């Protein structure tokens, strides 16, 4: 890759935009394996509450996380727009339940700002930053932190 | 690269030949007079030599060549087999093995073998055959006129055969022009001409030296051809810059080393070695010891895995189709689906069988190991193996080798006593180690038993308390077998002194963990002073298992059939309470009850039912009853993992996909019984 191309590549972060609790979140497309509609879920006992269970993703048993609950919102309700985003990070494959997933955008890297002190009055480590795109505010997630189970046991920690 | 394609084949075949060398050498040690065994060894060594030379692994080829020489001497009764020779031969095989492993790991298979080669030479020359090496040395030293010096076994037999088949053996001396610039090129052209005319057997100097132009102006070639001298001469002369060609008949018998007197025998052996590949396929009754092989192809295990995965998907879709056909009540569709079900059932058997390999693959390295260990420890012992043909899934085979090695080492090091001790105890001086494998139900059992010292209970208890594995109070409650099981706990080693054979104290718990990770279990029976028996129970296959599907409220769980004793329906009145725990009297035994509903916190309120469905499960000699809501039925399922995100879910060993596409969880019964 030539230097210019690399810079151009670096300039924009191609991201999937999804909706959760009326806010818009973004995560890099490179992590996303697929986006599925809602499927039957089998509950797994003895796992954190936001892990809704496992489901059959074309023959692969895949764990599924309710992102709303993970972020401390109320649990999901299935609507026509509810989607499962299949995330592939390192060796881990999980599904994320989101309210809707509808857009792919290029986020210029220079518009990404570290998360401001106050977003919905909480400060959490899994938010990578925010980006303002025209009149939209996208919250960029640090997916590895989102999947971090140790953190997750008490998902809603505020820092003073 | 083209060579890589062959490298795999080379490595696989080399391993086989080395294995065959090992086993036949062991046999030879027992029956030194058996010439058939020598021939088998010779054949393996010979093929190995040929292959490694072709692949350019010169050290390998050299070593095997020397081995071959020694063996040849033995075969021709010039040498008497004794344990020294066997030792050196084993040593040589070890070196071969390490070279092959080097190649496997991407090395070039180089290793200093000069010491061994010298030893082999010494053995070879110990008796009357000084021929080969001496002559070779001479010919190297006095290479003024290039003439064919000595011939090895192989070359001699080829030449002898060619005579029998009315070919002519020629010694062709080619003289190049004084001013020839590209000598190697000319040599190449001459060889090309000659190869069209017949077969080049040997050249002096050797080809590699010719290629590097390490010769004066002439070289000599041994050629087998049907053409007459003149034709050959004319054809060679067509190559430019050749000044002179001398062709003479070559008499094999003059040049043959004295060792090769037994012409007829050599001839037939030679044929054997050439045909050995076809022999393996066609001539099963060739010798009683020839390996049991049929027409086979090698398939990469990855491809089998891929096939298995695809088939698993098919099984799931089949289940779905069955459901649809059932609900549509369309007779033609139902018929077709039934047919498909039968066929896929057969297919499943075939695919599963393809992954099965005889446990001999693991066992066959043990005789050698036992021999070596016994020698190192100055113990006498005999290993007997039963059921080596028992088949197991490939994945299990791959994993089970190390644990078995561990157990065998333990048995020899700690179990079998020294000959003197055994004599004192009134046992035969020779200890016996038995390896036994057999099928039973859905399981394969591997047993390792010895008639050695057995487990010293007192010592185990003392040690266990010392290491904090158990407390003083617990001792009284432990049964003998429970005490024996203690040696499987981590940080346990009863050997007073640490030897390098075993006894680092990291041993047996690793064995136990490996076996349990394969879904198996290990049990110990031992009688102090009489011997011990380690019994390993393994599942036949890891990918498709039989389960009982049960329902707890709306959730479905799969319980492996292998751990189920039976199912029962009991009345609420039969449940008793002991220590605030629910128990039942089951065939005279008190069995604790576990409610899956409670353990898995199944949502929905618990209803008070009069009758409970119970699955009695067993782990070792402990039992428990699982309370479920309904039994759905027995089913073959495909075992799948929960992925890397959900690890260590309590009492769940995996998941499977049911006919309706939904996921059901598989119970880990081991975790439920404490």
Please judge whether B602 and A45 are an interchain contact, meaning their C-beta atoms are less than 8 angstroms apart. yes
Q: How far apart (Å, rounded) are the C-alpha atoms in residues B340 and B487?
A: 51
Q: How much is the pLDDT for A133?
A: 80
Please list, in sequence order, all residues whose beta carbon lies within 8 angstroms of the beta carbon of residue B589, skipping any fewer than 6 positions away. B623
**Averaged pLDDT, B591-607:** 82
What band does B346 get if pLDDT is binned at 50, 70 and 90?
Answer: confident
Residues of B in contact with A149 (CB under 8 A): 645
Among B29, B40, B68, B124, the active-site one is B68
Which chain A residues are within 8 Å of B668, Cβ to Cβ? none
Query: At residue A52, what are phi and psi to the nearest 5 degrees?
Result: -75, -15
Q: Count CB atoms within 10 A of the CB of residue B499.
A: 13
Q: Which tokens hold the place of B158?
A: 């080829």
What is the per-residue pLDDT for A116?
65
Residue B645 to residue A147, Cβ atoms within 8 A: yes
Residues 6+ apart with CB under 8 A from A18: A24, A25, A26, A27, A83, A85, A98, A99, A100, A101, A102
Specify whether B253 is catalytic.
no
Model confidence at B271, pLDDT cuts 50, 70, 90, reads very low
- Asked whether the beta carbons of residue A61 and residue B663 sit closer than 8 angstroms, the reply is yes
**Active-site residue B580, yes or no?**
no
Q: Which two tokens stand for residue B512?
A: 């136990």
Backbone angles phi, psi at B205, to 5 degrees: -65, 170
Share the mean pLDDT of chain B.
77
d(CA A71, CA A54) in angstroms, rounded, equals: 19
Give me the pLDDT at residue B88, please: 81
Residue B626 CA, distance from chain mean position = 41
pLDDT band at B250 (very low <50, low <70, confident <90, very high): confident
**For residue B653, which residues of chain A lie inside 8 Å, CB to CB?**
none
Helix (H, G, I), strand (E, B) or coil at B239: coil
DSSP characters over B49-111: HHHHHHHT-HHHHHHHHHHHHHHHHHHTTSS---HHHHHHHHHHHHHHHHHHHHHHTT-----
Q: Mind listing the pLDDT tens digit for each residue in B393-422?
A: 887 888 888 888 888 888 888 888 888 888
pLDDT at B493: 59
The answer on pLDDT for B638 being more than 90 is no
What is the band of B490 on the pLDDT scale with cuts at 50, 70, 90?
low
Q: Can you read off the two tokens belonging to residue B114?
A: 């000069």
Would you state the pLDDT for residue A85?
A: 92
| Bond preceding residue B150 cis, omega within 30 of 0 | no
The answer to whether B443 and B538 have CB atoms below 8 angstroms apart is yes
Q: Provide the residue ranges of all domains of chain A, joining segments of one domain with +.
A: 3-145
Residue with tokens 């009149």: A135
Q: Is B453 helix (H, G, I), strand (E, B) or coil?
A: coil
Q: What is the DSSP string of B551-616?
A: EETTEEEEEEGGGEEEEEEEEGGG-EEETTEEEEEETTEEEEEEEHHHHTT-SSPPP--SEEEEEE
With tokens 């610039």, the residue in question is B181
For B15-39, b where at least 16 C-beta lie within 10 A, e where not — what string?
ebbbbbbbbbbbbbbeebeeebbbb
Looking at chain A, the number of H-run helices and the number of E-run strands are 4, 11
B373-398: string of b/e by CB count within 10 Å (b at 16+)? bbeeeebebebebebbebbbbbebbe
Count other C-beta atoms under 10 Å from residue A38's C-beta.
Answer: 15
Asked if A43 lies within 8 A of B650 by C-beta distance, the reply is no
- What letter does residue B40 receive in the DSSP assignment? H
CB contact under 8 A, A54 and B599: no
Give CA–CA dist B656/B65, Å, rounded.
55
- A157 — pLDDT class (breaks 50, 70, 90): very low
Per DSSP, the three-state class of A125 is coil
Give the separation between CA B665 and CA B654, rounded to whole angstroms.
6
| B chain contacts of residue A63, beta-carbon cutoff 8 Å | 642-643, 645-646
Give pLDDT, residue B455.
Answer: 82
Give B481's DSSP letter: H
- Total residue count of chain A as it appears in this document: 160
The residue from B255, B410, B484, B597 that is catalytic is B410
Residue range B533-549: average pLDDT? Answer: 81
Q: How far apart are CA A122 and CA A142, in angstroms?
A: 16
The span from the CA of A86 to the CA of A54, in Å, is: 12
Total Cβ atoms within 10 A of residue B61: 19
Residue of A nearest to B602 (CA): A45
Query: Comparing A5-9, A122-126, A148-152, B575-579, which segment has the lowest mean pLDDT?
Result: A5-9
**Which residues on adjacent β-strands are paired with residue B612?**
B570
Residue among B555, B601, B642 minimizing CB distance to A61: B642
CB atoms within 10 A of CB A155: 16
Please provide residue B517's backbone torsions phi and psi, each rounded to the nearest 5 degrees: -65, -20
Task: Please name the member of B309, B556, B655 whose beta carbon is closest to the beta carbon of A54.
Answer: B655
| Distance, CA of B291 to CA of B280 (rounded, Å) | 8
Considering chain A, what is the average pLDDT of its residues?
78
- What is the C-alpha separation between A124 and A158, in angstroms, rounded? 7
Residue B105 is a catalytic residue: no
Tokens in use for B312? 């698993």
| Residue B657 near residue B334, CB atoms below 8 Å | no
DSSP letter at B251? -
Angstrom distance (rounded) from CA A56 to CA B662: 6
pLDDT at A159: 36
Tokens 């046991």, residue?
A153
Which band of pLDDT confidence, cut at 50, 70 and 90, is reported for residue B280? very low
* Span A3-145 CATH architecture: Beta Barrel (2.40)
pLDDT at A84: 92
Query: Does position B542 have pLDDT exceeding 70, yes or no?
Result: no
Determine the pLDDT at residue B462. 81
A33 DSSP assignment = E
More confident residue, B458 or B151: B458
Sequence-distant contacts of B87-94: CB under 8 A, at least 24 apart: B88/B116, B88/B119, B88/B120, B88/B123, B89/B25, B90/B22, B90/B25, B90/B368, B90/B372, B91/B116, B91/B119, B92/B63, B92/B66, B92/B67, B92/B116, B92/B120, B93/B18, B93/B21, B93/B22, B93/B25
pLDDT for B441 equals 66
Q: What is the pLDDT of residues B122-171, one digit of tens each?
A: 777 764 334 444 444 443 333 344 455 566 767 777 777 777 777 778 88
- Other C-beta atoms lying within 10 Å of the C-beta of residue A54: 31
For B278-406, strand residue ranges (E) read 356-358, 381-386, 391-393
Which residue of chain B is at minimal alpha-carbon distance from A94?
A: B645
Percent of the residues in chain B that have a pLDDT greater than 70, as a whole number: 84
Nearest to B643 among A40, A58, A61 (CB): A61
> In this structure, are strands B581-586 and B576-578 parallel, antiparallel, or unpaired?
antiparallel
Amino acid B254: pLDDT: 62
Contact B650, B671 (CB under 8 A): yes
Count of A-B CB contacts under 8 Å: 79
Q: Nearest Cα to B176, choosing from B236, B253, B248?
A: B236
Picking from A41, A50, A59, A152 by the largest number of B CB atoms within 10 A of its own CB, the best residue to mutate is: A59
**Model ipTM value:** 0.80
Whole-angstrom distance, CA of residue B197 vs CA of residue B231: 9
Collapse the DSSP code of B550 into the 3-class scheme (helix H, G, I; strand E, B; otherwise coil) and give the result. Answer: strand
How far is the C-alpha of B125 from the C-alpha of B133, rounded, in Å? 9
Query: B169 is written with which tokens?
Result: 């053996």
Q: At what angle do helices B2-30 and B83-104 cross, to 10 degrees?
A: 160
**CA dihedral over A143, A146, A147, A151, signed as positive or negative:** positive
Give the DSSP H/E element, type plus range, for residue A36: strand A32-37
**Please, which residues have CB within 8 angstroms of residue B164's CB and are 6 or more apart in sequence?**
B267
Taking a C-beta distance cutoff of 8 angstroms, is the pair B281, B293 a contact?
Answer: yes
């Amino acid at each position: 890759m030539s230097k210019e191309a690399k810079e151009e590549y670096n300039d924009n972060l191609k991201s999937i935009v999804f909706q959760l609790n009326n806010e818009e979140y973004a995560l890099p497309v490179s992590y996303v394996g697929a986006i599925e509609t809602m499927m039957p879920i089998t509950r797994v006992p003895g796992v954190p509450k936001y892990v809704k269970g496992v489901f059959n993703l074309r023959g692969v048993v895949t764990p599924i996380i309710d992102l709303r609950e993970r972020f401390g919102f109320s649990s999901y309700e299935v609507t026509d727009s509810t989607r499962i985003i299949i995330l592939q990070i390192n060796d881990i494959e999980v599904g994320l339940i989101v309210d809707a997933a509808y857009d792919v955008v290029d986020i210029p890297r220079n518009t990404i700002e570290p998360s401001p002190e106050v977003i919905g009055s909480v400060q959490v480590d899994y938010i990578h930053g925010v980006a303002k795109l025209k009149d939209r505010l996208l919250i960029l997630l640090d997916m590895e932190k989102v999947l971090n189970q140790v953190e997750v046991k008490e998902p809603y920690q505020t820092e003073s | 690269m083209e060579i890589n394609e062959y490298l795999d084949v080379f490595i696989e075949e080399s391993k086989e030949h080395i294995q065959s060398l090992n086993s036949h050498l062991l046999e030879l040690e027992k029956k030194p007079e058996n010439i058939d065994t020598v021939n088998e060894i010779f054949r393996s060594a010979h093929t190995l030599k040929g292959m490694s030379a072709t692949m350019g692994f010169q050290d390998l080829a050299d070593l095997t060549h020397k081995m071959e020489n020694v063996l040849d001497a033995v075969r021709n009764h010039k040498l008497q087999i004794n344990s020294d020779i066997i030792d050196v031969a084993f040593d040589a095989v070890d070196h071969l093995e390490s070279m092959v492993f080097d190649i496997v790991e991407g090395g070039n298979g180089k290793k200093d073998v000069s010491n061994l080669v010298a030893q082999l030479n010494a053995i070879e020359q110990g008796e009357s055959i000084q021929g080969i090496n001496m002559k070779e040395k001479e010919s190297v030293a006095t290479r003024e006129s290039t003439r064919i010096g000595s011939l090895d076994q192989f070359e001699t037999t080829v030449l002898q055969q060619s005579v029998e088949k009315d070919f002519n053996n020629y010694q062709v001396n080619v003289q190049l022009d004084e001013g020839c610039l590209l000598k190697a090129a000319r040599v190449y052209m001459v060889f090309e001409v000659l190869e069209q005319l017949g077969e080049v057997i040997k050249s002096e100097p050797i080809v590699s030296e010719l290629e590097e132009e390490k010769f004066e102006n002439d070289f000599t070639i041994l050629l087998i051809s049907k053409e007459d001298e003149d034709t050959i001469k004319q054809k060679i002369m067509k190559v430019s810059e050749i000044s002179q060609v001398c062709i003479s008949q070559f008499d094999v018998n003059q040049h043959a080393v004295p060792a090769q007197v037994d012409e007829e025998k050599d001839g037939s052996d030679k044929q054997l070695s050439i045909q050995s590949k076809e022999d393996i396929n066609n001539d099963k009754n060739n010798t009683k010891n020839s390996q049991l092989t049929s027409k086979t192809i090698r398939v990469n295990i990855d491809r089998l895995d891929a096939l298995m995965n695809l088939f698993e998907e098919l099984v799931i879709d089949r289940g779905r189709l069955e459901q649809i056909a059932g609900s549509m009540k369309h007779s033609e569709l139902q018929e077709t689906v039934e047919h498909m079900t039968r066929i896929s059932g057969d297919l499943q058997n075939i695919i599963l069988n393809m992954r099965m390999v005889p446990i001999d693959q693991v066992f066959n390295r043990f005789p050698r190991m036992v021999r070596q260990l016994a020698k190192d420890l100055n113990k006498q012992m005999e290993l007997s193996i039963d059921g080596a043909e028992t088949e197991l899934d490939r994945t299990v085979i791959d994993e089970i080798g190390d644990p078995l090695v561990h157990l065998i080492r333990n048995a020899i090091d700690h179990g079998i006593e020294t000959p003197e001790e055994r004599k004192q105890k009134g046992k035969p001086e020779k200890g016996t180690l038995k390896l036994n494998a057999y099928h039973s139900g859905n399981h394969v059992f591997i047993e390792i038993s010895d008639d050695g010292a057995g487990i010293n209970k007192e010592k185990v208890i003392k040690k266990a308390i010392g290491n904090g594995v158990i407390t003083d109070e617990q001792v009284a409650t432990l049964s003998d077998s429970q005490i024996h099981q203690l040696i499987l706990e981590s940080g346990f080693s009863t050997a007073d002194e640490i030897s390098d054979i075993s006894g680092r104290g990291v041993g047996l718990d690793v064995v136990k963990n490996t076996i349990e990770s394969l879904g198996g279990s290990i049990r110990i029976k031992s009688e102090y002073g009489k011997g011990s028996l380690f019994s390993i129970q393994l599942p036949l296959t890891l990918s498709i298992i039989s389960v009982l599907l049960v329902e707890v409220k709306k959730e479905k769980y799969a319980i492996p059939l292998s751990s189920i004793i039976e199912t029962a329906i009991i009345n609420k009145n039969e449940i008793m309470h002991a220590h605030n725990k629910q128990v039942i009297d089951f065939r005279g035994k008190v069995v604790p009850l576990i409610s899956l509903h409670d353990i898995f916190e199944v949502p929905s309120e618990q209803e008070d039912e009069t009758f409970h469905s119970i699955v009695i499960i067993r782990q070792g000699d402990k039992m428990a009853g699982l309370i479920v809501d309904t039994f759905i039925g027995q089913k073959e399922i495909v075992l799948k993992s929960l992925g890397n995100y959900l690890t260590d879910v309590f009492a769940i060993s995996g998941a499977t996909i049911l006919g309706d596409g939904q996921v059901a969880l598989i119970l880990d019964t081991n975790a439920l019984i404490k």
